[in-house]
Chain A
Amino acid sequence: MLGNSVAQDLRDVMVDSLTSLTRQGLNIAVLVSDSTSTAKIAPFKQEFPDRLINVGIAEQSLIGTAAGMALGGFVAVTANAAPFLVHRANEQVKNDVCYSNSNVKLMGLNAGVCYGPLASTHHAIDDVSIMRGFGNILIFTPSDGIEARQVFAYALNYVGPVYIRMDSAKLPNIHDEGYIFRPGQPDILRLGNDITIIAMGSTAHEAVAAGKLLQEDGISADIISLPSIRPLEPSKIVESLCKTSLAITVEEHSQHGGIGSLVSEIIAEHGIQCRLKRLGFPEGKFAVSGPRDEMRKHIGIDAASVARTAKEMIK
């Protein structure tokens, strides 16, 4: 499913957004930790060589330096692999970015298990959970190029900390050009009656594909993507859960602290009668490494597995 010929790498969209917004006068500085190729940042560097800071393989210093540049008047954007951002520089994210409320945008590149075969040192399956723990940082998870462009524009103009969970796969568009990203709003990709399937980022594609498979069996599903984890206005989710009373969350993330937890909280706090199945990496284990597609199948977040789970729940 991933790798469609008209698909876009969100990093290309990121770099294009950074370049065009800098051109328009936004005081952007991009900081990398030897991650120029990971960030695909060359076009930005070519046009604005003076606005790219490489601190070397030093993630703690990367985030502290970004906070210092933000406090010095820049829109400081860091672009490095998510695991080294959220784990290695965790305290800098907490204190220098979130607690100090500095205007830093953290691009968590290759999040989830984009680096599948490279094993757990290179996975970030708890990034959303960690960021949700830092109360004031906005968290966005774009699912295609059309959405990503709007997410970047919003995030870079917003004053304050933002984390963007980035995928490395080329993602086909699941939105049309008329789509409008609204911070805080769930994205209703498809309306149905029998079950609610909620996903984020690239797993929105698995959810959409699962919805098509279910349709072939006469099952209609609400398919909801959550591009905006924080802020989040839950009424559309509440409405869907009340309607279907059955829900599945699909995330390339731990079952704990991501959207599975988030939807559980909504169900509990709103007193909704709804059965929920959280699909994601199970508690207490590191991910079994391997090709990403196989990893998705192993934990049941690929389209076929999601559809199968939905049918079992509906039985």
Chain B
Amino acid sequence: MNNPFEFNTEEILHEVKEIRKNVLKMNHGAGQGHTGADLSEADILASLYFRLLRYTKENPRDPQRDRFILSKGHGVGGFYCTLMQAGLLDKNLLGTYLEFDSKLPGHPVRQKNDFVEVNTGALGHGLPIGVGMAIAAKKQNLDYKVYVLTGDGELQEGSNWEAAMTASHYKLDNLIWIIDRNNLQLADFTENIVALEPLGQKLEAFGMEYLEINGNDPGAIISTIESLAPNGKPKAILARTTKGCGVSFIENQPSWHHKVPTDEELSRAMEELSC
């Protein structure tokens, strides 16, 4: 099975811009949303859905497919807009985000969307579930890979480290854990709340094959993940990103964790993203 797009970096960058525009429109329309997180992860999601993930549009639950778990479920806006851009979700639903019984609730729900693997939102759940899926693949001799995208503040949840130990013990080299390291959590910078660094050393100490990349550079994301080899080690990719990436007045501002643009801010953001 292949990725249905297999886009190059330039093509992905085009999609990323469209995803960011749609995120802003969607959150503006709904009057709610996790704008900062939606924007920081866009390059990672576009790289996955337009290049790295092997899946078919026709059969979202194909047993051979690669799995993607959005453990940072609050980044669902970026996820929906990526699925829409890839033709996996109806773009006409964009205006229904967060409405009553919407197909686009504020965290991913698998009963609402066949491209959602598992219901997330509470933090620290995705990695253990990914470990289970990776074990299931190995036990059934299936060659699918399991991608888990966590936030960075999320790593304060101990369940991630439980799962990391299990992943390492069971040599789950089919597990690719991507950390959206945008340095911010709900209230402040992670290092001001409870410091995560030296994160790379921690990940290595837990038995991960650790790699650090610019998570807002699809070229780096793709070349790094495509170079991973099955060596008995689960992969941990620290993707250094900018929260709110792409819109100057949103970038690195803690207040934009779940702030949404005003009419005027939306116009300014659209201008920036159209450059």
Contacts and interface: CB of A to CB of B under 8 A. Distances in A.
B177 to A, nearest CB: 13
B111 A101 contact: yes
Interface in B186-215: none
Nearest to A70: B132
A135 to B, nearest CB: 13
Contacts of A100: 110, 118-119
B56 interface: no
B162 A60 contact: yes
Interface stretch (B46-54, B121-129, B242-250): B121-129
A225 to B, nearest CB: 34
Contacts of B129: 64-65, 67-68, 71, 96
B166 interface: yes
B158 interface: yes
B117 interface: yes
B137 to A, nearest CB: 6
Contacts of B128: 60-61, 63-65, 67-68, 92, 96
B124 to A, nearest CB: 7
Contact of B125 (A29, A58, A64): A64
Contact of A73 (B125, B127, B136, B165): B136
Nearest to A51: B139
B110 A72 contact: no
B225 interface: no
Contacts of A29: 135-136, 139
Contact of A74 (B117, B122, B136): B136
Interface residues of A, number: 30
Contact of B140 (A65, A72, A99): A72
A293 interface: no
Most chain A CB inside 10 Å of its own CB: which residue of B111, B131, B140:
B131
Given A73-B136, A91-B122, A92-B125, A68 B63 contact: no
B162 A76 contact: no
Nearest to A102: B118
Interface string B159-191: 100110110011000000000000000000000
A71 B118 contact: yes
B136 A68 contact: yes
Q: Interface SS of chain B: helix, strand, loop or mixed?
A: helix
A76 B131 CA distance: 13
A95 B119 contact: yes
B136 A58 contact: no
Given A58-B165, A65-B166, A72 B132 contact: yes
Interface in A52-70: 53, 55-56, 58, 60-61, 63-70
Interface residue tally on B, bucketed by range: 20 to 34
Nearest to B137: A72
Interface in B19-40: none
Interface string A28-66: 010000000000000000000011010110101101111
A69 B133 contact: yes
A48 to B, nearest CB: 11
Nearest to A72: B136
A96 B133 contact: no
B234 interface: no
A45 to B, nearest CB: 15
Contact of A58 (B122, B130, B139, B166): B166
Contacts of B124: 60
A60 B117 CA distance: 19
B254 to A, nearest CB: 26
Interface in B102-159: 110-111, 117-122, 124-125, 127-137, 139-140, 158-159
A55 B119 contact: no
Contacts of B127: 64
Contact of B135 (A58, A69, A95): A69
Contacts of A55: 162, 166
A99 B119 contact: yes
Given A72-B137, A95-B119, A60 B132 contact: no
A269 B170 CA distance: 51
A77 to B, nearest CB: 13
Contacts of B111: 101
A20 to B, nearest CB: 20
25 contacts: A55-B166, A56-B162, A60-B158, A61-B131, A61-B166, A64-B127, A64-B129, A65-B129, A65-B135, A65-B163, A67-B129, A68-B130, A68-B133, A68-B134, A68-B135, A69-B135, A71-B118, A73-B63, A74-B136, A76-B132, A92-B125, A95-B122, A96-B119, A99-B119, A100-B110
Interface of B: 63, 110-111, 117-122, 124-125, 127-137, 139-140, 158-159, 162-163, 165-166, 169-170
Of all A-B residue pairs in the complex, the 8 with the closest CB atoms, nearest first, are A68-B132, A72-B136, A64-B128, A61-B162, A58-B162, A65-B132, A68-B129, A69-B132
